[in-house]
Amino acid sequence: EHPLVDEIVKDIRYKEEVDKIRQIISKQSDIERGSAEIEKIGCFTGRFIINPLNDEKVPIWIANYVLLEYGTGAIMAVPAHDSRDFEFAKKYNIPIREVISEDGKSHSQLSGAYVEDGVMINSGPFNGLPSGNGRKEVTSYLEKNKIGKSDVNYKLKDWLISRQRYWGAPIPIIYCKKCGAVQVAEGDLPVLLPYNIDFKPTGLSPLSYCEEFVKTKCPKCGGEAKRETDTMDTFVCSSWYFLRYCSPHFEREAFDKEEVKYWMPVDQYIGGIEHATMHLIYSRFFTKVLHDAGLINFKEPFTRYYPHGVVALGGQKMSKSKGNIVNPSEIYNKYGADTLRLYILFIGPADSIVDWSDSGVEGSSRFLKRFWRIVFDNIEYIGLNKKRITGTDYSAFPSEGKLGAKLKDLFNTGQLTETEKELYRKLHQTIKKVTSDIRERFNFNTAISAMMELVNLMYKYDEEVKSDNRNPLLVYEISRKLLLLISPITPFIAEELWSRMGEKGSIHRKAWPEFDPEIAKEELVTVIFQVNGKLRDKAEVAAGLPKEELKKMAMNSEKIKKFIESREVIKIISVPGKLVNIVIK
Range 440-449 contact pairs with CB under 8 angstroms and sequence separation of 24 or more: 442/306, 442/350, 442/351, 443/349, 443/350, 444/345, 444/346, 444/350, 444/489, 445/345, 445/346, 445/347, 445/348, 445/349, 445/350, 447/485, 447/489, 448/342, 448/345, 448/346, 448/489, 449/346
User: Are 205 and 139 part of one and the same domain?
Assistant: no
What's the mean per-residue pLDDT of the chain? 88
pLDDT digits (tens, 9 = 90+) for 96-148: 999 999 988 888 888 899 999 999 999 999 999 999 999 999 999 999 999 99
CA geometry: angle 245, 263, 271, nearest 5 deg: 60
Does residue 328 fall inside a structural domain?
A: no
pLDDT of residue 160: 64
pLDDT of residue 394: 40
* SS (HEC) of 486-520: HCCCCHHHHHHHHHHCCCCCCHHHCCCCCCCHHHH
How many residues are listed for the chain in this entry?
585
pLDDT of residue 81: 95
Torsion of CA 451, 453, 457, 462, to 10 degrees: 60
Quick one: residue 294, left, alpha or beta (phi over 0 = left, psi -120 to 50 = alpha)?
left
Does residue 160 fall inside a structural domain?
A: no
**pTM flag (> 0.75):** no
Do residues 264 and 296 make contact, with C-beta atoms less than 8 angstroms apart?
A: yes
Does residue 387 fall inside a structural domain?
A: yes
pLDDT digits (tens, 9 = 90+) for 316-352: 778 777 777 888 899 999 999 999 999 999 999 888 8
pLDDT of residue 228: 94
Q: Can you say whether the dihedral through the CA atoms of 388, 394, 400, 402 is positive or negative?
A: negative
Alpha helices by DSSP H, listed for 120-183, are 131-144
Q: Is the pLDDT of residue 503 over 90?
A: no
Range 270-273 contact pairs with CB under 8 angstroms and sequence separation of 24 or more: 270/305, 270/306, 270/307, 270/308, 271/305, 271/307, 271/308, 272/307, 272/308, 272/310, 273/307
pLDDT of residue 402: 35
pLDDT digits (tens, 9 = 90+) for 195-213: 988 887 777 778 888 999 9
pLDDT of residue 384: 62
Q: What letter does residue 256 receive in the DSSP assignment?
A: -
Q: Residue 539 is part of a domain; what is its CATH number?
A: 3.10.20.590
CA distance 132 to 118: 8
User: Are 478 and 367 part of one and the same domain?
Assistant: yes
Between 376 and 518, the more confident residue is 376
At 97, the amino acid letter reads R
Mean pLDDT of 553-557: 92
Q: Is the pLDDT of residue 40 over 80?
A: yes
Which residue, 193, 219, 235, sits at the end of a domain? 235
Does residue 164 fall inside a structural domain?
A: no
Q: Is the pLDDT of residue 158 over 80?
A: no
Q: Residue 512 is part of a domain; what is its CATH number?
A: 1.10.730.10
pLDDT of residue 464: 86
Rounded to a whole number of angstroms, the distance between the first and last alpha carbons of the chain is: 74
User: Are 12 and 88 part of one and the same domain?
Assistant: yes
CA distance 580 to 583: 10
User: Are 511 and 384 part of one and the same domain?
Assistant: yes
Does residue 342 fall inside a structural domain?
A: no
Q: Is the pLDDT of residue 391 over 50?
A: no
**DSSP three-state, residue 414:** helix
Alpha helices by DSSP H, listed for 233-324, are 235-238, 241-245, 257-263, 279-292
User: Are 551 and 499 part of one and the same domain?
Assistant: no
Q: Is the pLDDT of residue 386 over 90?
A: no
User: Are 27 and 39 part of one and the same domain?
Assistant: yes
Do residues 71 and 87 make contact, with C-beta atoms less than 8 angstroms apart?
A: no
pLDDT of residue 403: 33
pLDDT of residue 404: 36
Share of the chain above pLDDT 90, in %: 59
- Domain that includes residue 206, residue range: 169-235
Beta bridge partners of residue 119, listed in sequence order: 101, 130
pLDDT of residue 471: 84
CA distance 528 to 537: 6
Share of the chain above pLDDT 70, in %: 93
pLDDT digits (tens, 9 = 90+) for 249-299: 999 899 999 999 999 999 999 988 887 878 898 899 999 999 999 999 999
pLDDT of residue 363: 95
398: pLDDT confidence band, cut at 50, 70 and 90?
very low
- Write the burial class of residue 489 (CB in 10 Å: 0-12 exposed, 13-18 middle, 19+ buried): buried
User: Are 435 and 532 part of one and the same domain?
Assistant: no
Which residue, 144, 160, 179, sits at the end of a domain? 144
Q: Residue 123 is part of a domain; what is its CATH number?
A: 3.90.740.10
At 456, the amino acid letter reads N
pLDDT digits (tens, 9 = 90+) for 84-97: 999 999 999 999 99
Q: Is the pLDDT of residue 389 over 70?
A: no
Q: Is the pLDDT of residue 13 over 70?
A: yes
Quick one: residue 41, left, alpha or beta (phi over 0 = left, psi -120 to 50 = alpha)?
beta
User: Are 396 and 483 part of one and the same domain?
Assistant: yes
Beta bridge partners of residue 571, listed in sequence order: 583
Q: Is the pLDDT of residue 395 over 50?
A: no
191: pLDDT confidence band, cut at 50, 70 and 90?
very high
CA distance 227 to 39: 42
Does residue 38 fall inside a structural domain?
A: yes
Domain count, the chain: 5
Which residue, 520, 539, 563, sits at the end of a domain? 520
Do residues 495 and 507 make contact, with C-beta atoms less than 8 angstroms apart?
A: yes
Does residue 29 fall inside a structural domain?
A: yes
Q: Is the pLDDT of residue 524 over 80?
A: no
Considering just the CA atoms, what is the radius of gyration of the chain in Å? 35
User: Are 83 and 19 part of one and the same domain?
Assistant: yes
Residue 584 makes CB contacts below 8 A (sequence gap 6+) with: 531, 532, 563, 564, 567, 568, 569, 570
The gap from C-alpha 119 to its chain's centroid, in whole angstroms, comes to: 30
393: pLDDT confidence band, cut at 50, 70 and 90?
very low
